[in-house]
Structure formats: structure tokens, C-alpha cells
Amino acid sequence: MSFNRLLTALRQRVWLSRHAVIVTVSVIAACDAVPDPAQPAVGVALDSVFDTTVVALEESARDSIAVPGIFQERAEGGFLLSDGQLPRVRSYDAQGRLEAAFGRFGAGPFEFQSIDGLAETASGRVAVVDGRQARLTWLTGDLRPDTTKRLPGVPSRVKTLDDDLLLEMRLASESGGDDPRSRFYRRPLMLHRLAEDELTWSSFMWPFLPAERPYWNSIARLSFDLAGDSIYMAFSLRYPVAILNTAGDSIGEIGVPPAAFELVPVFESGAFSPAGFATQVSDLLGGRTTISHLAVVGSRLVVVHGSFGYPKSGGPFGAYHSSLDIYDRHTGRKLYEDVPLPENSRVLGGGRHLYLLADTRFPPWRIARLSFRRENPD
């Protein structure tokens, strides 16, 4: 059964029950061609690369999920998931059963105005970052209040390195102070390590001055993931992926663009009219490929490509997830290129598996857990 047909059948079954449902599929390709080991396998079906397990999320009638947001695999199994529209964090077991939930809107202690990052440390504590309040909130493993701390800048993503935090964050000291024009002539360091809530190093400079790349801040994004002693960082509009060590030093690069990747042009200042900016940019970018997400899955680095295209992307500057490139992260060899993703799916993250939100449009919400079917495509 194809992945899309599986999801259709599951949707019909889940509507009959409000309890968690788990369906396991092991798809065996009837005829696998053996590719040249020096070249990646191009355009192969997702079912030829992964075994798929689809989990339907259990919801509380008094605390329903608006939209699944930030995902974090848990060390002991199961996962954390923020709400994409509400200030809530929820914990689930591996079968999608709801274990705990926490969060409400506000500016007081243990209240959120936005949830921009979510991670679990080696000791089991849960870190939640609120970009609007520039605040870090620590929760216990079962999502009870622990402590809060003011951050030295505006955070947008967080990962854990043992019990330390890696944050994508724009430091207040690099914001330009009282002169807003000065931010156009600064290239801030975007990745920061916090140990015991203290900043220990900053790394990975934004690759372009805003003055050099007008309008790019509207469409450019950073993504990062880590495994072992390697941190992988990608700027959405260009290749390759940068590799840093845990001291923040650059140690290499990985990745080559797929055939469909087309560089976004450099726009001159004044290229767009103020009234038609969103429409003009959307038309210009329509169909172009970008790096939307990075996910480490065991020994693999998964580069998620997106395509600009409003309204499918959800906004004129967004990109819906469209395909995967997969690398052996130890050798740098590209194993698969342009593996198409199911329509309306979104990659949530990696870890022991690759996780997809099976359908981004409406509930019941289902998460597909993808496991590599074999270690090498050849």
C-alpha cells in the first residue's frame, strides 16, 4: 500500500475513535534497481527508503491541539510537541498517548507569549524558549514548573548538548542599540551555547549583511541539528551545509545542491513596490527550492527541501516541504536525492527515526515515524 493510501485509510479509521491508534506498515519494494555506488539514488519513492509507522495523537476533549508545532524526540521514548498556535507543550508516549501538558498565555512566571524552541536535556529537563519575552523556561520531565531565566537576546530555536543548550539567538548587544539603521551593517553570530544558563561561546555568522541582500531577511532561514560532536548548520538559500564542533569551530562542509535547486537572485534595493511586495516576491520565488530543515537520523543527515509557493506554503515567504536529500554524515556521500514527500506533509525532526506530520491541513493529527529500511542504498 502506498504512503498516501495508508494515510487515507487511517483517516477513515481514526474518525471512528478519539483514542490513539497505531498502524505499522512494512513496504517491500517489488523491484529495487541497484544504483551506481558512486551516485545517489535519484527520485526513489519514500517507501523504498523507509518503513513507516503512523501514530494518531490522542487529544483531551478539554485541551485540543490547534496545530502541531515544534517536535522533540524523548530519550526514553515518546516525544514532546508544542502547539503551533497556542502556548502549550504536550508529552506523548511512543504510541501517541497523551501523558502531560503544560502552558498558558501570559507574561507572568511560567506563562508564554510564544513558544519558539523546545528541547530535552540529558538529565530529562525540558527547555522552552519564548522569543517574544526573551525568556527560557525550565520544566521537569513530566512538564511541571521548574525555573525561568531571562535570555541575553531573542531566541528562535534550541537544541541540547548533554545538559547545555544550543540556541539560535540574536543577542541584544548586536541589535544596533538606539540606531535601528546600524543593524543593516552588522552580521550577527547566530548560534550560542549556554552552560548552566551562562553564555560560553557564539558562532556561525549570518552570511550576508542586510544591506548586501535587501529583502532576504523575509525569506531566509537558518536550520541546525546535532549528533555526537558535530553540529550541522544550513542557510536556507544556499549550499553547502556547514559543520561545527561542540566548541563552535568550523570543521567542514557537507552537501551539494540537487538538480532542482536554483539560487535566489540578489535583489537590488527598490526592486519591489511597497504595495505589491508580498505578491511580487511570491511570484518571483514560486517553485524555487530551499533548504527548509535539517534532521540527523542515526548516521544519516537528512536535508529537507521546500518549495516556495503561496498559498500552499501558508504565506508569501514560506516554503512547503517537498523532498529529501540523504547523506552518510560520516563520509559525506549523498545516498539519495530528491526523495518526494507525501502531499501536505511536513518534516518535524529526527533522532532515532525521521518524523513527519502526515497532513498539515486538519485533524485528526497523525505523525509518521520513518525508519531506514537498510543501511546503504547499494
- Tens of pLDDT, residue by residue over 93-102, are 999 999 999 9
HSE at residue 82, side-chain half, CA atoms within 13 A, is 27
The pLDDT, as a whole number, for residue 124 is 94
Percentage above 90 pLDDT, the chain: 62
Report the range of poorest mean pLDDT among 136-140, 285-289, 331-335.
285-289
Residue 226's pLDDT is 95
Structural domains of the chain, ranges and CATH numbers in brackets: 1-58+213-378 (no CATH), 65-206 (2.120.10.30)
**What percentage of residues in the chain have a pLDDT greater than 70?**
84
- pLDDT category, 20, cuts 50, 70, 90? very low
Q: Which range has the worst mean pLDDT, 11-20, 111-120, 175-184?
A: 11-20
Residue 80 predicted with pLDDT over 80: yes
Instruction: Quote the pLDDT of residue 66.
Output: 94
Q: Mean pLDDT over residues 159-168, rounded?
A: 94
How far, in Å, CA of 119 to CA of 141, rounded? 11
| Across 315-328, average pLDDT | 86
Determine the average pLDDT of the residues in 105-123. 95
| C-beta separation of 187 from 210 below 8 A | no
Q: For residue 197, is pLDDT > 70?
A: yes
The model's pTM is 0.86
* Rounded distance between C-alpha atoms, residue 291 and residue 279, angstroms: 22
Query: Cα separations (Å) of 72 from 81, 128, 190, 238, 351?
Result: 6, 11, 21, 26, 9
- At residue 122 the predicted structure's pLDDT band, cuts being 50, 70 and 90, is very high
Peptide bond into 311 cis (omega under 30): yes
Confidence (pLDDT) at 285: 79
> For 172, phi and psi rounded to 5 degrees?
-60, -35
| CA gap 312, 192 in Å, rounded | 33
In the chain, DSSP finds a helix count (H) and a strand count (E) of 3, 26
User: Are 74 and 58 a contacting pair, CB within 8 Å?
Assistant: no
Q: What is the pLDDT of residues 216-225, one digit of tens each?
A: 877 888 999 9
Distance (Å, whole) CA 301 – CA 226: 10
